[in-house]
Amino acid sequence: MRTAMNIYLRKSSWLVVIVTGLFGAIAAQNDFPKKPFQQWSRSEAEAILNDSPWARQQEVRIKFDKEAQKAAGSYSGVSSAAAAQADTEVTSQVPVDFVFTMRLRSALPMRQALSRLKQLKADTKMSDKERATFDAQVKGLLECPACAQNYVISLSSKSKNSPGADAVYSTFKGGRLSDLQRYVYIANETGERRVLVHFVAPKAPGDEAIFFFTRLGDKGAPLLTRDSKELLVNLTDNQANAITNFKFDVSKLIVDGKVEF
């Protein structure tokens, strides 16, 4: 089956496609902040979210000819029905740069970073009731009950030169779990997989699409251990490629002897 990305490129008479991987440089064991996360600065928290072993970014630059006016939004192979309803307007002759960001949301460092950023944004003038509600939200985000049984991954995108374009929103806003389960999965380097069990679609441009995968296999073992080498996140319905599939070095996800994910 041709992905909507492939269909889109053929219909657009594309001229140039450049794909580059943007990888974080932080080594988990060496550069992970040693102080309590409640003391992290904004820059330290943002570094975990965007420039750490738990985050990967990939950039796609596409240059269109004069006839190309809009692009089918399904960049990772959703059903044709969903793709037909998901169009992203583009400007003729101007390369559209999409940056895809994937985060391992169930990893404790990622949850701590998200919690810390919420704390830093908190309104000091909150009422007692508002403060209690806010604290409960932060606690839920930090503890993440769903993470005990699931690996949780988020995906977002933005365009550098077309701020209104969001490939992830266009792709997944109408996505159905049954459709996505046909090809979305995570795997380790041996080929062992975990299936998609839950999906939260983005509600507006700028939102993340969130994917939940079963943590334990049939024998009750997690997908990743200290001896694992690689995590593959497959988001396309054809061969793995460098645009919408992501790979993580498991050795860099280890903190205090444990795989944090």
pLDDT in tens, 119-168: 888 877 888 888 888 888 888 888 999 999 999 999 999 887 788 888 88
Judged against a pLDDT cut of 70, whether residue 72 lies above it is answered with no
Judged against a pLDDT cut of 90, whether residue 194 lies above it is answered with yes
Which comes out higher in pLDDT, residue 32 or 218? 218
Residue 107: its pLDDT value, please? 96
pTM: 0.74
Judged against a pLDDT cut of 70, whether residue 182 lies above it is answered with yes
State how far the Cα of 57 lies from the Cα of 8, in Å rounded to an integer.
Answer: 22
Alpha helices, DSSP H only, in the chain?
A: 4-11, 28-31, 42-50, 80-84, 108-121, 128-143, 167-172, 177-180
Residue 58: its pLDDT value, please? 87
- Percent of the chain past pLDDT 70, that is, above it, reads 72
pLDDT tens per residue across span 28-45: 444 677 889 989 999 999
State how far the Cα of 111 lies from the Cα of 137, in Å rounded to an integer.
Answer: 12
